[in-house]
């Protein structure tokens, strides 16, 4: 269903993306034949670029490239390095195939590129390798492990002088008495589940300082709290981090910024609390002079995920002044603050009207600008010396690649997917704006099939695909699913209904305890707009989505019979059944109240109670290990629809959580989308090729 607040993201001057002519590690392709339409198998040909990191000398950018192998049923991430200025032979791989690498970092002297990986180290008892910090000497040679932590390392950062690392390590239990039976889960916490983690125990993550020269490992925080997001002060003497150290961490969102001395000898009993805001504070970043900490804050925590994430700064010494929220008037979600090298400004990511931009604001809170903005989606960015900026940018026609900012323009640095894209005909994408039923202006995107011309009868079959969240937004990013459906001949309608991020807190919280009402009106207005403008055939419509997109789909098909087919993935339908079963107990209680005290609202909002109104043929899908939106929801809806004699089918993916990861299941899901829509929207009797029915 809804996702926990991760990072979100603004507008201003448009910055054109300069597509360079020369190729990179992918080379040039698509020569010798006419471009073709996108297929399901192209999902496994395209690569995912991530985590750009600029070298200390500003000459290179290290990053990850993730490939997915359908035959081997796995994904793998390798480290690459490319000259930030372009040229010099292009990008080169740093790690070999065979094991994944993540979290690339440069040692402060630029000699090493470090990363996290689970590889055999040759250490005793290393039959099941745990994730460790590895280092690769840029001058040559094999990578070597820096750490040998028995339970593994979850995150790390280099100290400014390169002599130490701060590690995030989870506690471990003593050895279990049985060698054959798994340890039983003993539950005492209020928050006792998390998707992709499982049952939660009392093991917590804490900070350790590791000295490679001596292999010394010193624990510097402790207690029944999770300590995360460590950031070294520029002088290397202390570390800022985020932690909820309240009496009941599972019962509130009160994460604050704390500081611990790097050579702390009391395991964190002596800490300095920097923020006291009752809402979540996190993502700390130091100013170059060590006097300020920038961080992300929520000043209205009672609104849970509907509240806006703001940028704030606080004096690092404490007692030197109150925190200052710099973006109250911006009213947009933001993330990942970073000080400029001169300490006079802070860069961050910001959501705004279907864009994700890089924004900049002065330490005084004045002169907000958007160095990178426009019809694009910035997934992450890195700052280097002398103001160098590398950003991971996606557009509707290109998955994320690394670009550099140069004299107000962004210029492409990596060309990972050029060889695949050169041979494809992609959909055209248009941003739309239209009024909802109550006059509220709503935005969205329309994907039209390659070669489609508006006004040339007849209009095309159309699919309303609804995003998850609900606190998320469709953006100018490359969307493989939409491109695939468009290649199949469908107009694809994406709407950012109320509840979406990118349009301000009031827009976001408009669906508070009122799901399937205003957001339903908004997505239907998007369909009406596409029909009115001659894109969509009103007699050939489909709808669907995953997570909250599936939830809103359930509302749609209980309220209208306009759609010939629906696909509801990982959705909810009978809300009281989820209390204590999914991982949203805190959020359920904040928004709807306790189910035994406010049951009328819980039942009124549940689409299950209107199931008899559903006549749309509905495909239901989910993962059997999903504890975000447990599969029992689609099972209940399936059972009801079968009992009512409606056209329906249930597909459950073994071993999958909320996010389907197994490559063959990703392929299967897309093929079933196409077959279901073809069968009921186009009326062509689509089937899933090569799969047992």
Q: Which residues contact 285 (CB under 8 A, 6 or more apart)?
A: 231, 293, 294, 295, 337, 338, 339, 346
**Residue 411 and residue 457 in one domain:** no
Bond before 470 cis per omega within 30 degrees: yes
Contact (Cβ atoms closer than 8 angstroms) between residue 80 and residue 95: no
Looking at the fold, whether 365 and 455 belong to one and the same domain comes out as no
Same domain membership, residue 228 and residue 369: yes
Those residues with Cβ within 8 angstroms of residue 266's Cβ, 6 or more apart along the chain or in another chain: none
SS percent in the chain: helix, strand, coil, step 5:
15, 35, 50
Q: Which residue has the tokens 């998707």?
A: 195
Ramachandran assignment for 470, one of left (phi > 0), alpha (psi -120 to 50 degrees), beta (any other): alpha
- Whether residue 523 lies inside any domain: the answer is no
What single-letter DSSP state applies at residue 617?
A: -
Contact 677, 460 (CB under 8 A): no
Residue whose C-alpha is closest to residue 373's, from 396, 344, 401, 350: 350
Helix (H) or strand (E) holding 569: strand 565-569
Question: What per-residue confidence (pLDDT) applies to 318?
Answer: 63
How is residue 50 written in tokens? 């991530």
Q: What three-state secondary structure class fits 186?
A: coil
Task: State the burial class of residue 173 (Cβ atoms within 10 Å of its Cβ: 0-12, 13-18, 19+).
Answer: exposed
How far, in Å, CA of 676 to CA of 569, rounded? 13
Question: Residues with Cβ < 8 Å from 299, sequence gap 6 or more?
Answer: 277, 279, 307, 310, 325
CB 568 within 8 A of CB 545: yes
Q: Are residues 43 and 162 in the same domain?
A: yes
How many CB atoms neighbour CB 503 within 10 A? Answer: 24
Q: What are the backbone angles phi and psi of residue 441, rounded to the nearest 5°? A: -75, 130
Question: Can you name the residues that pair with 2 across neighbouring β-strands?
Answer: 469
Q: Does the bond joining 678 to the residue before it have cis omega, within 30 degrees of 0? A: no
Q: Is the residue at 85 inside a domain?
A: yes
Name the token pair of 521. 């009106």
CATH number of the domain residue 380 falls in: 2.120.10.30
At 202, list the tokens.
Answer: 């009392």
Q: Give the SS3 label for residue 324.
A: strand
286 neighbors 231 (Cβ within 8 angstroms): yes
pLDDT recorded at residue 386: 84
> Which residue, of 400, 421, 442, is where some domain finishes?
421
Residues 140 and 286 in one domain: yes
Same domain, 326 and 198: yes
Helix/strand/coil for 269: coil
Domain CATH code at residue 471: 3.40.50.1820
Is the distance from CB of 606 to CB of 573 less than 8 angstroms? yes
Q: Is 361 within the bounds of a domain?
A: yes
Residues 457 and 309 occupy one common structural domain = no
- In whole angstroms, give the CA distance from residue 627 to residue 208: 31
| 3-class SS of residue 192 | coil
Whether residue 28 is contained in a domain is answered as no
Q: Which long-range contacts (CB under 8 A, 24 or more apart) does 122-130 make?
A: 123/148
385 and 461 part of one domain: no
Whether 488 is covered by a domain: the verdict is: no
Q: Has residue 21 been placed in a domain? A: no
CA–CA distances in Å: residue 134 to residues 102, 114, 118, 165, 374: 10, 5, 9, 12, 38
Tokens of 124: 């005793």
Q: Are residues 416 and 549 in the same domain?
A: no
Please, are residues 534 and 432 in contact by the beta-carbon 8 Å criterion?
no
Count of domains forming the chain? 2
A 10 A CB-CB count for 689 gives 9
Alpha-carbon Rg for the chain, nearest whole angstrom, is 25
Task: Kindly report the number of other CB atoms within 10 A of residue 187's CB atom.
Answer: 12
- Asked if residues 653 and 634 have their Cβ atoms less than 8 Å apart, the reply is no
Clarify whether residues 282 and 398 are in a common domain: yes
Same domain membership, residue 381 and residue 255:
yes
Residue from 443, 484, 517 nearest 678 by CA: 484
Shared domain check, 342 and 204: yes
Q: What is the pTM of this model?
A: 0.93
| Residue 27, in any domain of the structure | no
- Interacting residues of 265 by C-beta distance below 8 A, sequence separation 6+: none
**pLDDT, position 122:** 67
At 307, list the tokens: 């509240």
Contacts of 214 (CB under 8 A, 6+ apart): none
Question: Please, which residues have CB within 8 angstroms of residue 359's CB and are 6 or more apart in sequence?
Answer: 10, 12, 334, 347, 348, 349, 350, 368, 369, 370, 371, 373
State which residues form the domain around 85.
33-173+189-421
State the DSSP H helix or E strand holding residue 672, giving kind and residue range, or none if neither: helix 663-677
- Residue with token string 């903005």: 373
Which two three-digit tokens encode residue 113?
């590129």
Name, in order, each residue with C-beta under 8 angstroms of 683's C-beta and a sequence gap of 6 or more. none
Q: Specify whether the CB–CB gap between 480 and 48 falls below 8 A.
A: no
Per run of 10 residues, the mean pLDDT along the chain (length 693 residues) is 37 35 35 81 97 96 96 96 82 90 96 94 71 90 92 97 97 83 87 87 93 96 96 97 94 96 89 94 97 97 96 83 92 97 97 97 96 97 93 97 94 95 96 98 97 80 97 97 98 98 97 98 98 96 98 98 98 96 94 97 98 98 96 97 98 97 98 98 69 38
Determine, yes or no, domain membership for 246. yes
């Amino acid at each position: 269903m809804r996702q926990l607040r991760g990072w979100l993201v603004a507008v201003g001057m448009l910055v054109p993306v300069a597509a360079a002519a020369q190729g990179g590690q992918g080379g040039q392709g698509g020569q010798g034949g006419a471009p073709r339409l996108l297929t399901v198998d192209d999902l496994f040909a395209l690569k995912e670029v991530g985590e750009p990191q600029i070298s200390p000398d500003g000459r290179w950018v290290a990053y990850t490239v993730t490939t997915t192998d359908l035959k081997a049923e796995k994904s793998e991430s390798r480290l690459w390095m490319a000259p930030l200025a372009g040229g010099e032979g292009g990008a080169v791989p740093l790690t070999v195939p065979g094991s994944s690498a993540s979290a690339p970092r440069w040692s402060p002297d630029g000699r090493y590129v470090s990363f996290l990986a689970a590889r055999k180290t040759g250490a005793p008892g290393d039959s099941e390798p745990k994730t460790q910090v590895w280092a690769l000497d840029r001058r040559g040679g094999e990578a070597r492990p820096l750490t040998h932590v028995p339970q593994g390392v979850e995150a790390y950062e280099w100290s400014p002088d390169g002599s130490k690392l701060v590690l995030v390590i989870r506690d471990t239990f003593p050895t279990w008495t049985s060698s054959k039976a798994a340890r039983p889960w003993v539950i005492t916490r209020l928050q006792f589940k998390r998707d992709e983690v499982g049952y939660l125990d009392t093991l917590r993550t804490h900070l350790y300082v590791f000295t490679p020269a001596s292999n010394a490992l010193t624990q510097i925080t402790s207690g029944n709290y999770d300590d995360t997001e460590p950031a070294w002060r520029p002088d290397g003497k202390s570390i800022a981090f985020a932690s909820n150290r309240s009496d009941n961490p599972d019962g509130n969102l009160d994460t604050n910024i704390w500081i611990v001395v790097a050579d702390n000898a009391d395991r964190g009993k002596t800490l300095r609390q920097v923020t006291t805001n009752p809402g979540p504070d996190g993502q700390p970043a130091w100013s170059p002079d060590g006097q300020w900490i920038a961080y992300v804050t929520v000043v209205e925590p009672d609104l849970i995920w509907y509240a806006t994430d703001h940028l704030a700064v606080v004096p690092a010494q404490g007692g030197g002044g109150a925190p200052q929220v710099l973006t109250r008037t911006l009213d947009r979600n933001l993330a990942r603050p970073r000080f400029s090298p001169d300490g006079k400004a802070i860069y961050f990511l910001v959501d705004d009207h279907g864009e994700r931009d890089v924004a900049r604001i002065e330490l005084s809170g004045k002169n907000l600008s958007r160095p990178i903005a426009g019809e694009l989606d910035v997934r992450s960015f890195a700052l280097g010396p002398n103001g160098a900026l590398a950003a991971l940018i996606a557009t509707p026609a290109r998955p994320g690649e690394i670009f550099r900012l140069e004299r107000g323009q962004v210029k492409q640095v990596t060309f990972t997917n050029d060889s695949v894209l050169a041979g494809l005909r992609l959909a055209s994408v248009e941003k739309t704006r239209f009024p909802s039923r109550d006059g509220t202006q709503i935005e969205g995107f329309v994907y039209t099939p390659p070669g489609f011309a508006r006004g040339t009868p007849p209009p095309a079959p159309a699919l309303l695909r609804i995003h998850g969240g609900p606190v998320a937004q469709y953006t100018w990013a490359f969307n493989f699913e939409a491109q695939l459906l468009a290649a199949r001949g469908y107009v694809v309608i994406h709407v950012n209904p109320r509840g979406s991020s990118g349009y301000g807190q009031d827009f976001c919280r408009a669906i508070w305890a009122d799901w399937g009402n205003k957001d339903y009106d908004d997505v239907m207005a998007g369909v009406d707009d596409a029909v009115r403008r001659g894109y969509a055939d009103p007699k050939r419509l489909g709808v669907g989505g995953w997570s909250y997109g599936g939830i809103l789909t359930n509302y749609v098909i209980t309220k209208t019979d306009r759609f010939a087919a629906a696909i509801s993935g990982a959705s909810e339908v009978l809300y009281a059944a989820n209390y204590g079963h999914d991982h949203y107990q805190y959020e359920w209680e904040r928004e709807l109240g306790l189910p035994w005290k406010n049951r009328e609202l819980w039942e009124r909002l549940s689409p299950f109670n209107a199931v008899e109104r559903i006549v749309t043929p509905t495909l239901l899908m989910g993962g059997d290990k999903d504890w975000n939106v447990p599969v029992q929801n689609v099972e209940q809806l399936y059972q009801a629809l079968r009992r009512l004699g409606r056209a329906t089918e249930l597909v459950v993916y073994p071993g999958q959580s909320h996010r389907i990861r197994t490559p063959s299941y990703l392929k299967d899901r897309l093929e079933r989308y196409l077959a279901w829509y073809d069968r009921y929207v186009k009326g062509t009797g689509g089937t899933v090729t090569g799969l047992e029915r």
